Amino acid sequence: MSDATIATRALRSLDLTDLTETCTDQAIDTLCRKAVDPHGPVAAVCVWPQFVKRAQENLRGSPVRIATVVNFPAGGEDVSRVTDDTQEALSDGANEIDLVLPYEAVRRGDLAVAAEMVEAVRDLVDQGRLLKVILETGELTDPHLIETASRIAIDAGADFIKTSTGKTPVSATPEAAEIMLNVIKASGKAVGLKPSGGIRTVADANIYLDLADRIMGPGWATPRTFRIGASSVYDALIAAIEGRAGTAAIGTY
């Protein structure tokens, strides 16, 4: 498969992201312009909750969905605060909620706390909107914990399981994604995968597409079941599609 073909596939499954601490209205405007590039569009933009309305104004009439984050990035355990934040984000126009699982609870074996959080947010995310649960696999590290967190999220109603916030030293890894895909496959449920953080080149994106093809079967990885959470890979994807010698953009998740 050519780089241009891979890049087109990745671009259409991209959650184009700006979760920088210095994000501005102008940065959101730029992000949304990129999201509707003629080579795309991307699947979604992922922005801080305070920018959901701005993104909605920019993307009105386009198929690009608006994702935002809750319980981010720390993965706290205050369910009522997180449900309040979720309700506000949905009211502002978010189509997708990326929820950080209380991963420290998973690490200490308090699985009920993690399940309760996902279930409470699931109850709010309805009407065709999506719940993506961030496991923070770089902090869980142990394969058994990644598997356990994946199962908790899926059993509690996640539409997607996502590797990372992009705010920890280790973000997406192929090893974590493989574990997550195997849990999805074993569940028999229509759950998607979102590798996120540290994906900067066409080759990086292709690692995860290849994994999905191998484990779930060719054709499984579409924007309905597969997303790439990244900001810095966008320029490399566009360069590959246009046949330019592209390098990864400088930037962070």
* Helices and strands of the chain, counted as H and E runs: 11, 8
98 is catalytic: yes
189 is catalytic: no
Which of the following is catalytic: 3, 18, 85, 98?
98
Alpha carbons 196 and 133: distance in angstroms, whole number: 12
92 is catalytic: no
Q: Which residue has the tokens 């990035």?
A: 73
Which of the following is catalytic: 15, 34, 132, 194?
194
Which of the following is catalytic: 159, 162, 204, 235?
162
Contacts of 26 (CB under 8 A, 6+ apart): none
- For the annotated catalytic residues, the residue numbers are 98, 162, 194
